[in-house]
């Protein structure tokens, strides 16, 4: 089978994806700067590892030798951090992706799968959004992902490198302690017995997808015979308010009266966001099977175990 290099492979999604790829027979390499990634997420390190910053084109090029497929997960992934430091966001996401595309052409890569985003890229459009929604990002993070898609499309057409861009919903699951999304924030608040912070009135909505379902979608994109540049939304299609999400977090963790503090809305975050994934279902066979409640329970189980193992908690029921 083809050899696959996964950039950002020591992060949340990569650490779940790599073992799944190995299990079905792929030889996998992992490229990660370890700024956010963690080698400890792997119990079995049976892969080639490249400690490389995606912005270092020569090092990226050297890492690609012998690999025919690239899954590009490495990114500066926080909306709020991108507002605080838009230049760094551009350098890691856009410039880093351009480096990877150049290196892929030079090293004869045959296919690239790019991790994009739905809500941040499209902005405040009326949901459900789809592949034909007009992108109008409202954060530097969303703008960087849109720019990356532009370069991916250009390289697919100029250099005949097939690129599939997958626009992820909000992904939840194990190995996500370092992430900055709502689910991580809620579970850490419960674990450390602090109030849950909700930015805005709790009516803002998102679409949450379990990481195992997402990885099945990525694998389908790897295995699909697609030419040129293609875009797909990977989502659950279920719109959930942040207030409802906090309630589910409390229920699955066994907390009945966790205090909630409502904070001022944050600039750059969309109000409503969920996506229609019918095109991915039709073309890739994408079919997520995990309910939000089950996904939240499985994610909580991992957070509870991680906190107990690392002695990072005040919650008495760990």
Among 36, 67, 141, 306, which one carries the catalytic annotation? Answer: 141
Q: What per-residue confidence (pLDDT) applies to 318?
A: 63
Tell me if domain 3-171+208-234 and domain 173-206+239-272+291-309 are identical in fold.
no
| Residues whose CB falls within 8 Å of the CB of residue 41, separated by 6 or more in sequence, listed in order | 10, 15, 175
As a whole number of angstroms, the distance between CA 264 and CA 29 comes to 43
Q: Which CATH class is domain 173-206+239-272+291-309?
A: alpha beta
pLDDT interval class at 124 (50, 70, 90): very high
| Residues whose CB falls within 8 Å of the CB of residue 265, separated by 6 or more in sequence, listed in order | 199, 200, 204
pLDDT interval class at 316 (50, 70, 90): low
Q: What per-residue confidence (pLDDT) applies to 312?
A: 74
Average pLDDT of the segment spanning 114-125: 96
Q: What per-residue confidence (pLDDT) applies to 277?
A: 97
**In this predicted model, what pLDDT tens digit does every residue of 32-65 receive, in sequence order?**
999 989 999 988 878 999 999 999 999 999 999 9
Q: Quick one: which of 74, 108, 78, 109 has its CA closest to 92?
A: 74
Q: Which of 96-110, 135-149, 153-167, 303-317 has the lowest mean pLDDT?
A: 303-317
| Residues whose CB falls within 8 Å of the CB of residue 121, separated by 6 or more in sequence, listed in order | 135, 137, 142, 145, 146, 149, 167
Q: What per-residue confidence (pLDDT) applies to 256?
A: 76
In DSSP terms, 111 is beta-bridged to 69
Q: What per-residue confidence (pLDDT) applies to 49?
A: 96
Average pLDDT of the segment spanning 130-141: 97
Q: What per-residue confidence (pLDDT) applies to 171?
A: 98
Q: Which two tokens stand for residue 195?
A: 């109030």
As a whole number of angstroms, the distance between CA 90 and CA 85 comes to 9
Average pLDDT of the segment spanning 147-152: 98
Sign of CA dihedral 8, 218, 81, 179: negative
Average pLDDT of the segment spanning 168-174: 98
Q: What per-residue confidence (pLDDT) applies to 315?
A: 62
Helix pair 242-253, 182-191: axis angle to 10 deg? 40
**23: Cα within 13 Å, side-chain hemisphere:** 9
pTM to 2 decimals?
0.96
Average pLDDT of the segment spanning 68-83: 95
CB count in 10 Å sphere of residue 275: 27
Average pLDDT of the segment spanning 145-153: 98
DSSP alpha helix (H) spans, the chain: 12-23, 57-63, 79-84, 86-89, 96-106, 119-122, 140-159, 182-191, 211-223, 242-253, 278-284, 292-309
* Sheet-wide strand order for 27-32: 48-51, 27-32, 3-7, 69-72, 111-117, 163-168, 229-234
Q: Can you say whether residue 66 is alpha, beta or left, with left for phi > 0 and alpha for psi between -120 and 50 degrees? A: left
Q: What per-residue confidence (pLDDT) applies to 311?
A: 81
User: Domain spans of the chain?
Assistant: 3-171+208-234, 173-206+239-272+291-309
Average pLDDT of the segment spanning 239-261: 94
- Of all residues in the chain, the percent with pLDDT exceeding 70 is 98
* Residue 317 scores a pLDDT above 70: no
Q: Quick one: which of 59, 57, 4, 58 has its CA closest to 218?
A: 4
As a whole number of angstroms, the distance between CA 270 and CA 118 comes to 11
Mean pLDDT score of the chain: 95
Considering the four listed CATH numbers 3.40.50.720, 3.10.20.600, 3.40.47.10, 3.30.830.10, the one that applies to the domain covering 3-171+208-234 is: 3.40.50.720
Q: What per-residue confidence (pLDDT) applies to 44?
A: 81
**In this predicted model, what pLDDT tens digit does every residue of 3-25 receive, in sequence order?**
999 999 999 999 999 999 999 99
Q: Quick one: which of 190, 193, 290, 170 has its CA closest to 241?
A: 170
Q: Which two tokens stand for residue 317?
A: 């029921």
The answer to whether the CB of 279 falls within 8 A of the CB of 131 is: yes
CB count in 10 Å sphere of residue 137: 23
**Strand, helix or coil for residue 107:** coil
Average pLDDT of the segment spanning 106-118: 97
Q: What per-residue confidence (pLDDT) applies to 105?
A: 97
* Residue 292 scores a pLDDT above 70: yes
Is 67 known to be catalytic?
no
The answer to whether the CB of 199 falls within 8 A of the CB of 239 is: no
């Amino acid at each position: 089978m083809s050899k696959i290099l996964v950039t950002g492979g020591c992060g949340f999604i990569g650490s779940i994806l790599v073992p799944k790829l190995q299990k079905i027979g792929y030889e996998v390499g992992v490229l990660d700067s370890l700024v956010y990634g963690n080698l400890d997420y792997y119990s079995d390190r049976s892969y080639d590892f490249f400690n490389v910053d995606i912005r270092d084109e020569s090092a990226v090029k050297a890492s690609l030798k012998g690999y025919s497929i690239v899954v590009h997960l490495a990114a500066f992934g926080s909306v709020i951090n991108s507002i605080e430091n838009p230049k760094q966001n551009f350098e890691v996401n856009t410039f880093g992706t351009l480096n990877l595309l150049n290196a892929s052409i030079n090293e004869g890569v045959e296919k690239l799968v790019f991790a994009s985003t739905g809500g941040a890229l499209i902005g405040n459009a009326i949901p459900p959004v789809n592949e034909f929604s007009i992108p109008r990002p409202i954060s530097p993070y969303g703008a960087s992902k849109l720019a990356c898609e532009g370069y991916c499309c250009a390289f697919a057409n100029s250099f005949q490198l097939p690129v599939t861009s997958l626009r992820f919903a909000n992904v939840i699951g194990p190995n996500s302690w370092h992430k900055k999304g709502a689910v991580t924030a809620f579970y850490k608040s419960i674990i450390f017995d602090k109030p849950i912070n909700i930015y805005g009135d709790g009516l803002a909505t998102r679409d949450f997808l379990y990481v195992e379902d997402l990885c099945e979608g990525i694998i389908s994109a790897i295995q699909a015979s697609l030419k040129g540049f293609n875009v797909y939304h990977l989502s659950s299609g279920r719109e959930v308010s942040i207030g409802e999400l906090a309630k589910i977090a409390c229920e699955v963790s066994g907390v009945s009266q966790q205090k909630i503090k409502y904070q001022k809305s944050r600039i750059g975050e969309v109000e409503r966001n969920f996506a229609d994934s019918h095109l991915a279902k039709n073309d890739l066979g994408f079919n997520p099977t995990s309910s939000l409640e089950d996904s939240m329970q499985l994610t909580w189980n991992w957070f509870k175990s991680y906190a107990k193992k690392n002695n990072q908690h005040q919650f008495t029921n760990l």
